[in-house]
Amino acid sequence: SLQLHSSYAESLYSIGQFSEIGIAAPKVIMSAKSIGDKLPAYLTLIKAVAAQKKVAEAMQIGLKILDELGESFSTSSKTKEELLGIVFHTKRQIEGMTKDQFMEWKTMENPDKIAAMKILIELLAYIDFLEEVLVISLLTRMIHLTLTYGICEASS
C-alpha cells in the first residue's frame, strides 16, 4: 500500500498535479516506518513544491528532513572566513588521494546517511536559487558523509 501511494505521488508529479502531491506524499510519510519507505515521498514532495516556484519552502522541507536524519544545518550566516575554513578543511581531507583510493572506498551502508545524501543531491538541483553559504555547506557535508560513511550512488 505504501509503495502504491508513493508511486501515485510520483505519477502526480510526472503529470504536473503538484498540489495533489501535498495530500498524497504526507500519507506515505506518516504511515511509513523506515526512511527507505519515506524517501521517495519526501523527494517527490520537495520536487513538487519547487516546481510550484516555492524553492525556499522546498529547501525548508529538505533541511527539516536532513535534521531528522541527524544532518542539521545552521541557518545563521557564516562569515566568508568560516566558509573558507570549511572548504580548506574538506580539501585537506581529500588532498593527495589517488583515483584508485577513491575507487576502493567503502560502500555507504547506513540507510539514514544514504537518505541524507539523496536529499542533499535533490537540494543542490536548485543551486541557482541558493545562497552561497548553503551551497558550500551542502557540498562539504556530502563530501564529509562520503569520507565518513563511504560511497553511495549519490556520492558521484
Q: What is the pLDDT of residue 77?
A: 67
Q: What is the pLDDT of residue 94?
A: 85
**Reduced 3-state DSSP string for 58-96:** HHHHHHHHHHHCCCCCCCCCCCHHHHHHHHHHHHHHHCC
Q: What is the pLDDT of residue 47?
A: 94
Owner of C-alpha cell 555507504: 108
Distance CA 33, CA 90 (A): 34
Q: Can you give the pTM of this predicted structure?
A: 0.82
Q: What is the pLDDT of residue 109?
A: 94
Q: Which of 35, 46, 136 is nearest to 91 (CA)?
A: 136
Q: What is the pLDDT of residue 76?
A: 65
Question: How confident is the model over 30-75, as pLDDT tens digits?
Answer: 999 888 889 999 999 999 999 999 999 999 999 999 999 999 887 5
Low-confidence ranges of the chain (pLDDT < 50): none
Q: Which of 93, 112, 123 is nearest to 38 (CA)?
A: 112
Q: Which of 118, 11, 136, 10 is nearest to 62 (CA)?
A: 118
